Amino acid sequence: MNRPTTPIHPSSGPASSTRGHVFENPATGERAVVLTDPAVHPDRALVGHLRVAVGGRVGAPHTHPRAAERFTVLAGRVGFLIGDQERVLGPGEQAEVPAGMVHEWWQVGDQEAEVVVDMTPGDRFTDMRATMFGLIRDGKVGRHGRPRLLQLAVTAHKYRDAMVFASPPWVQRLLFGSLAPLGRALGRRPMYARYRASAEIAEPDVRALGQLDEHGRLRRGAAR
């Protein structure tokens, strides 16, 4: 294996960078280690190393209205539905999701999957994801393992520029738009600062770092 290039951003960012912070979602089987923090990256890029447990998948089909995503599979297999195209990718293969495209992804087979993901811009999604993962870890969920409806409405409505569920979008706008004021009146907040940082900090995997360029972005082309 070639020696990984150390990205400028993750290694030299300020002390406030969340590089190495670990965020887990027990409901979906995701474990993410931050490689590039959008709060300190000039392109506001969020790059993470995701491990997805057997049977794990992203919560639901969705879009990122203003952000594009790129994926490189490091290990295992991952199924992707991007628009109306479905495929399964293995180690070294990549997928790209343009801004506004409906997509979802899931682990395939009997081996944990590992993926490096680049979302740009990713700052708004970072706050949304950290809050959603934190609420789920703290057990503040309904019977389906998701944040309760009023909380979900407040957070999803605030961050509707970062992520929109695809079932269908106008229903989400109508439902969450009408419920969000009630949720805020009852004390729900879109984002909780305590979830921004993680109690667990891990040294990023050299295999994942080897997929980044000198700017801390995911390289294009087959995994090295």
- Could you tell me which residues come within 8 angstroms of residue 132 by beta carbon, excluding any fewer than 6 positions away? 25, 147, 155
**What SS3 class is residue 118?**
strand
**Contact 99/67 with Cβ under 8 angstroms?**
yes
Confidence of residue 222 (pLDDT cuts 50, 70, 90): low
> Residue 2: what pLDDT?
38
Please tell me the CATH superfamily of domain 8-121, with its number: Jelly Rolls (2.60.120.10)
> Residue 143: what pLDDT?
74
**Bond into 121 cis (ω within 30):** yes
Number of H helices, E strands in the chain: 5, 11
Residue 98 has pLDDT above 80, yes or no: yes
pLDDT, tens digit (0-9, with 9 covering 90-100), for 48-74: 999 999 999 887 889 999 999 999 999
117 vs 130: CA distance, rounded Å: 16
Q: Among candidates 100, 4, 87, 99, which has minimal Cα distance to 49?
A: 4
pLDDT, tens digit (0-9, with 9 covering 90-100), for 142-201: 877 789 999 999 999 999 999 998 877 777 788 899 999 999 999 999 999 999 889 899
Residue 15 has pLDDT above 60, yes or no: no
**What SS3 class is residue 63?**
strand
> Residue 10: what pLDDT?
39
In this prediction the pTM is: 0.87
Number of other residues whose CB lies within 10 A of the CB of residue 167: 11
**Contact 95/115 with Cβ under 8 angstroms?**
no
- H or E segment to which residue 162 belongs: none
pLDDT, tens digit (0-9, with 9 covering 90-100), for 107-122: 999 999 999 999 999 9
> What's the mean pLDDT when you consider all of the chain?
89
Extents of the domains making up the chain: 8-121, 128-185
